């Protein structure tokens, strides 16, 4: 029997396939082994045509080479995609770094401006500012105290004027009563000079009440004085 490792008795094309059997799977390797055994057994008696086997393995090699090329192409495409992704990622990272640097510079500028402002405030005359503030507070307190005193004096003045007006009202009522009771008795003895004096006195009283600002021209007291003045003028005429 022939040795399995002796390739000299095998056709050169099959021998080449056996040498390149690393590219085939176990199924293809088994076919090759069966083919070599069949060729060894029948080499002396009759030769089996192996053209279709050669065609099969030739197509198989072509398919494998095409698959390898496809794998290489896919790998190159994947490498290109990875390179593009890496390029985009690097670009975005560089843009982010530039943005971070800009923000850091803005923060630094803001800190410098704040430090300058604080230094300016420290260098200014804070004692003078505090003294001015104290003076203004004292002036405000004095103004509030004066306003309080004015309010109290205004209330006191109003109370005094109200009391005076009440007294005047009482006096007017008494004068009306006296004038009503004595009008008939004094009608014959009164003279035009006395009536003029009485009219002047009533007008002076009316003007004093109006000057106080408490009474208006439509108040009852002023109307009563007007009626008295009118009666006195009618009596004088």
pLDDT in tens, 139-176: 888 888 888 888 887 777 777 777 777 777 777 777 77
Q: What is the DSSP letter of 48?
A: P
CA pseudo-torsion sign 205, 206, 210, 216? positive
* Residue entry with tokens 């009118």: 230
Tell the burial category of 225 from Cβ atoms under 10 Å away from its Cβ (0-12, 13-18, 19+): buried
Cα–Cα distance, 86 to 7 (Å, whole number): 52
Q: What is the DSSP letter of 125?
A: -
Mean pLDDT, range 102-123, rounded to an integer: 85
**Alpha helices (H) in 46-185, listed in sequence order:** 51-123, 126-182
- What residue spans define the domains of the chain? 12-81, 143-236
pLDDT score, position 4: 47
Give the range with max mean pLDDT: 56-60, 159-163, 168-172, 223-227.
56-60
Mean pLDDT, range 182-203, rounded to an integer: 65
Contacts from 210-216 at CB under 8 Å and sequence distance 24+?
A: 212/161, 212/164, 212/165, 213/161, 214/158, 214/161, 214/162, 214/165, 215/165
């Amino acid at each position: 029997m022939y040795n399995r490792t002796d390739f000299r008795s095998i056709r050169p094309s099959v021998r080449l396939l056996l040498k390149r059997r690393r590219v085939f799977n176990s199924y293809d390797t088994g076919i090759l082994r069966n083919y070599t055994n069949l060729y060894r057994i029948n080499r002396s008696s009759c030769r089996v045509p192996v053209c279709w086997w050669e065609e099969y393995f030739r197509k198989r090699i072509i398919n494998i080479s095409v698959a390898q090329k496809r794998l290489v192409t896919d790998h190159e495409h994947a490498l290109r995609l990875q390179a593009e992704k890496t390029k985009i990622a690097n670009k975005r990272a560089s843009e982010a770094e530039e943005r971070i640097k800009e923000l850091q510079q803005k923060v630094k500028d803001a800190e410098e401006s704040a430090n300058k402002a604080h230094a300016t405030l420290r260098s200014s005359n804070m004692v003078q500012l505090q003294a001015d503030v104290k003076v203004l507070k004292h002036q405000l307190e004095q103004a509030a105290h004066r306003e309080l005193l004015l309010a109290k004096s205004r209330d006191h003045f109003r109370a005094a004027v109200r009391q005076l007006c009440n007294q005047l009202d009482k006096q007017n009522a008494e004068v009306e009563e006296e004038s009503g009771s004595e009008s008939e008795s004094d009608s014959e003895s009164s003279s035009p000079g006395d009536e003029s004096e009485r009219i002047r006195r009533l007008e002076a009283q009316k003007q004093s009440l109006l000057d106080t600002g408490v009474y208006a021209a439509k108040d009852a007291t002023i109307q009563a004085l007007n009626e008295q003045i009118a009666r006195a003028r009618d009596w004088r005429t």
